[in-house]
């Protein structure tokens, strides 16, 4: 089913009417609306999980946990709104005696206006209708119109019905949350003049196409896309010697988690040649199970993605997991060498969605560094080393390549916190911002300065009586109530 042009126009008109109400709502009110949405999702947990499992086959345990993450995000952003530092309130008092006389300037961040959000296939709750993009956009004071993912249409509709009704019942205006369906409607949504920003999680090809549409508008808008990531891992010889078996087991658990459909899956792993790590991985991978993939399109793409990697003459199959049922994906571990990666990154460093990882042997630090420089921007980078290792140069490269650098554990799993960053250089994301954590709100805000404004005409948060209760900077000095 595709949303018609008339239906899209009605949704955008309602969002445009709702935008001033959201922007003007005080912190307590806006936070209460976010918590009402979270409470409603929790209250309908059983119903929503049943629909999601039918459509995605992700399993009840995983889906229940994801609902908890989703409602947790909404409640986190309620506290972000109440705390107030996200507004970046800044005051410079007038100084007529300055060499260049200075007026009074009061600066804040405010919502950009209606936001388009494009749902992801692999997280039907946490990156979908009421997921992190929607939560952060609402928290910033903007209505949202979501483009439903074709992989879970019934869940998208029901979630939108519940959250939209909960917002209105809590006092938010009609038009606070809308839903469109179909690729054509999604394209039209990002080009609609009412929409002022867009958030996307999905494929590089799909994201790039929408990015170009957003940039090609008569009035270009910011497009915050999370597109693709190979999430490099570097393991030193000392780390293999100290804990090789545990590292091999951890890697297999991570690249097969969710049947390899996490955006933070470790897709390329640099391992010391001759250290025996490949054999250790093979011993654990042999018993690893795969499973059904999220959509028919992903299911069809996985074998061709693996075949693309195997087409390189340097690539060999290290191990395969337990034999999969028809229509399911079988885990596979491949190997190559650092010289091949440095020479042919367009083949060997292309993201393959599903349970596959590529082990890259390196024989020297020079080989490792040359190959690492070929790695595209990623969401994460992981370094497993020992205290005796000199890894400063490796760390410098990984920090340039990724938005989150790990020194223990594996990258699958993203904590939703104030300090989290889920983004990275192109093609991981199209911007410098995060899609997870408190600062995700910054994507959907714009600065505005009031010069010599009468106090009665200032937004309430910029008046002195409000500033006394909120974090702000005055004349360059941070003020924390």
Active-site residue set: 226, 263
Find, among 217, 247, 266, the residue nearest to 411 by Cα.
266
325-to-182, 289, 330 alpha-carbon distances in Å: 31, 10, 8
Taking CA atoms, 328 is separated from 176, 257, 293, 294, 298, in Å, by 39, 14, 6, 10, 11
Residue 318: phi, psi to the nearest 5? -85, -45
| The pair of three-digit structure tokens given for residue 373, joined into one six-digit string | 């420089």
Q: Is the peptide bond before 427 cis (omega within 30 degrees of 0)?
A: yes
* Spatial contact of 198 and 226, defined as CB atoms under 8 Å apart: no
Q: How distant, in Å, are the alpha carbons of 1, 353, 376, 396 from that of 372?
A: 44, 21, 9, 11
- Which residues partner with 372 through β-bridges? none
CA 55 to chain centre: 22
DSSP state letter for 95? B
Strands (E), 176-325: 177-180, 197-201, 223-226, 233-235, 268-272, 291-292, 316-320
Cα separations in angstroms, 13 against 96, 114, 219, 382, 433: 45, 10, 18, 46, 28
How far is it, in rounded angstroms, from Cα 36 to Cα 200?
Answer: 24
CA gap 460, 429 in Å, rounded: 35
Closest alpha carbon to 330 in 280, 288, 269 = 288
Give the helix/strand (H/E) hosting 384: strand 378-384
- Listed in sequence order, the residues at least 6 apart from 198 whose beta carbon sits closer than 8 Å to its beta carbon are 115, 116, 117, 118, 189, 190, 210, 214, 221, 222, 223, 224
Rounded-to-integer distance, Cα 24 and Cα 107, Å: 16
């Amino acid at each position: 089913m595709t949303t018609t042009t008339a239906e899209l126009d009605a949704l955008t008109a309602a969002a445009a009417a709702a935008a001033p109400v959201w922007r003007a709502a005080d912190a307590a009110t806006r936070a209460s609306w976010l918590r009402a949405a979270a409470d409603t999702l929790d209250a309908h947990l059983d119903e929503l999980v049943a629909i999601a499992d039918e459509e995605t086959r992700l399993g009840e345990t995983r889906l229940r946990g994801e609902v908890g993450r989703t409602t947790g995000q909404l409640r986190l952003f309620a506290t972000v709104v109440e705390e107030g530092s996200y507004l970046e309130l800044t005051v410079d008092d007038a100084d007529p005696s300055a060499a260049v006389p200075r007026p009074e300037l009061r600066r804040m961040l405010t919502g950009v206006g209606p936001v388009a959000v494009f749902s992801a296939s692999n997280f039907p709750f946490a990156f979908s209708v009421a997921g992190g993009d929607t939560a952060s956009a609402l928290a910033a004071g903007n209505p949202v119109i979501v483009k439903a993912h074709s992989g879970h249409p019934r869940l998208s509709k029901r979630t939108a019905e519940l959250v939209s009704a909960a917002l209105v019942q809590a006092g938010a205006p009609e038009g606070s949350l809308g839903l469109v369906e179909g690729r054509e409607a999604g394209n039209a949504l990002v080009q609609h003049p009412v929409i002022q920003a867009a958030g996307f999680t999905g494929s590089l090809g799909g994201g790039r196409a929408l990015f170009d549409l957003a940039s090609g508008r008569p009035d270009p808008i910011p497009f915050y896309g999370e597109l693709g990531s190979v999430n490099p891992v570097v393991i030193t010889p000392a780390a293999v010697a100290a804990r090789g078996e545990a590292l091999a087991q951890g890697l297999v658990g991570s690249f097969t988690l969710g049947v390899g459909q996490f955006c933070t899956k470790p897709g390329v792993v640099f391992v010391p040649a001759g250290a025996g790590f490949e054999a250790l991985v093979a011993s654990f991978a042999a018993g690893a199970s795969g499973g059904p993939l999220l959509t028919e399109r992903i299911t069809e793409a996985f074998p061709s993605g693996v075949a693309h990697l195997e087409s390189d003459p340097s690539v060999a199959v290290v191990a395969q997991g337990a034999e999969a049922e028809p229509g399911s994906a079988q885990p596979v571990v491949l190997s190559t060498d650092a010289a091949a990666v440095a020479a042919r990154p367009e083949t060997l460093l292309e993201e393959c969605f599903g349970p596959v990882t590529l082990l890259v042997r390196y024989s020297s630090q020079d080989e490792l560094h040359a190959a690492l420089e070929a790695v595209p921007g990623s969401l994460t980078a992981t370094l497993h080393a020992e205290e005796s290792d000199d890894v400063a140069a490796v760390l410098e490269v990984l920090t340039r390549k990724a938005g989150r650098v790990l020194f223990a554990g594996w990258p699958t799993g993203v904590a939703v916190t104030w300090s989290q960053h889920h983004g990275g250089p192109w093609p991981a994301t199209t911007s410098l911002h995060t899609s997870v954590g408190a600062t995700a709100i910054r994507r959907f805000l714009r600065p505005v300065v009031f010069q010599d404004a009468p106090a009665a005409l200032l937004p309430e948060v910029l008046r002195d009586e409000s500033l006394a209760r909120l974090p702000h900077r005055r004349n360059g000095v941070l003020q924390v109530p």
